Amino acid sequence: MAFNFCFKISLVLFFIINLYVSTVTSRDLKKLSMLERHEKWMARHGRVYKDEIEKEQRFKTFKENVEFIESFNQNGTQRYKLAINKYTDLTNEEFMALFTGLDTSLSQQKSTATTSSFKYESLTEVPLSMDWRNGSVTGIKDQGQCECCWAFSAVAAIEGAYQIANNKLISLSEQQLLDCSTENKGCKGGLMTLAYDFLLQNGGGITTETNYPYQQSQSICSTQKISSTAAVTISGYELVPPSESSLLKAVANQPISVCIAASHEFLMYGSGIYDGSCDPELNHAVTLIGYGAGVNGTKYWLVKNSWGTSWGEEGYMRIARDVGVDGGHCGIASAASFPTV
Ligand SMILES: *[C@@H]1O[C@H](CO)[C@@H](O)[C@H](O)[C@H]1NC(C)=O
Ligand SMILES: *[C@@H]1O[C@H](CO)[C@@H](O)[C@H](O)[C@H]1NC(C)=O
Ligand SMILES: *[C@@H]1O[C@H](CO)[C@@H](O)[C@H](O)[C@H]1NC(C)=O
């Protein structure tokens, strides 16, 4: 009985909906399909909103971003494409608040770097291209909603330096830096050089990702986890003079921590060689892991980000190189550093 009743109701509903659908305009249909895309996108990225009001607000932002991305890509005159990713429901303001995390104001603090030396200065020849993913770079990690790009950038550079020196790739702990390097501001921002300073002041040791896994939030420093196993020890760090030519010499030898001025468009990057908009300020940290030239000889830097694999080229970005601008495109060459092991 119950089944029959339900069946009849749904039959009636079916006709009502059919009637409705046949009268909607194409504009409504477009909206309907955007709603559908939003639903599918939510499911794909496990996105849940607290109520209908938030959902409606997020839908609006999603729609605006999707329209921007599609019209940009249809233009076809650019060297890069934008793409829908798990951040497509975020406004520019939210992006700035949530996903960057470089605090350059911290650089006023005293640094123990031997700032006068740059050991690759005298290098005269570098290979035409370099890609440290041939064995010196761990998989793409995801900082989540914690502004500690500084920890990911420092760790990736240490992982690379250690692999090159010891022929052993070990995934290391961002959480140790996040919890223990308290000169930095945890999930509210930091600097790679301060992270290196912290390690050096405490014997230089950093433990493994497995031993001290990433939590997406700051906790009390676990001295137990640190003392049990220092997997890798750094002996110092150096600053790269702020030019693209120095940066090239540096990354020809090892992965490098770099600061970058990321914009909302940067967050939408999908593929290709990015020469799009930048923020006026350095606000994000990534790891430079190579360089090369694309079709037509367009030169690029190869960057490892910490925004998961749904962003960019499976989590990586190619960004314009030798652009004739001081500090490089989006300031990529303006505040680079690297650890020594
Ligand atoms: C396409 O790109 C060109 C060059 O950047 C720009 O002038 C033009 O406004 C763009 N058109 C659209 C529809 O975005
Ligand atoms: C990766 O490439 C560089 C440059 O060619 C080389 O020096 C290095 O040994 C390579 N690494 C591995 C693990 O093969
Ligand atoms: C490469 O150059 C050709 C010919 O000048 C041009 O048609 C094409 O769009 C260029 N490709 C890129 C990716 O810049």
Q: Is 133 in the pocket of ligand 3 (CB under 6 A)?
A: no
Q: Is 79 in the pocket of ligand 3 (CB under 6 A)?
A: yes
The label of the residue with tokens 């950038």 reads: 153
pLDDT band per the 50, 70, 90 thresholds, residue 26: low
Residue 167 designated active-site: no
> Looking at the predicted structure, is the pLDDT value of residue 2 above 70?
no
Q: What mean pLDDT do residues 184-211 have? A: 92
Give the global pTM. 0.86
> Looking at the predicted structure, is the pLDDT value of residue 7 above 60?
no
According to the model, what pLDDT value does residue 95 have?
A: 84
**Nearest protein CA to atom 10 of ligand 1, as residue:** 75
Q: What mean pLDDT do residues 315-331 have? A: 96
Dist. CA 102–CA 148, nearest whole Å: 8
**Nearest protein CA to atom 8 of ligand 1, as residue:** 75
Residue 264 designated active-site: no
> Looking at the predicted structure, is the pLDDT value of residue 195 above 90?
yes
- Nearest bound ligand to the CA of residue 251: 2
- Nearest bound ligand to the CA of residue 289: 2
Q: What backbone phi and psi angles, to 5 degrees, belong to 65?
A: -65, -45
**Nearest protein CA to atom 4 of ligand 2, as residue:** 130
According to the model, what pLDDT value does residue 229 have?
A: 67
Closest CA to 38 of 20, 24, 56, 22: 56
> Of these residues, 38, 65, 148, 149, which one is catalytic?
149
Domain boundaries, the chain: 2-78, 82-340
Between CA 109 and CA 137, with CA 225 as vertex, the angle to 5 degrees is 70
Chain segment 244-296, per-residue pLDDT in tens: 999 999 999 999 999 999 999 999 999 999 999 999 989 999 999 999 998 88
Other beta carbons less than 10 A from residue 287's beta carbon:
28
Q: Which CATH number fits domain 82-340: 3.30.420.40, 3.90.70.10, 2.40.440.10, 2.60.40.10?
A: 3.90.70.10
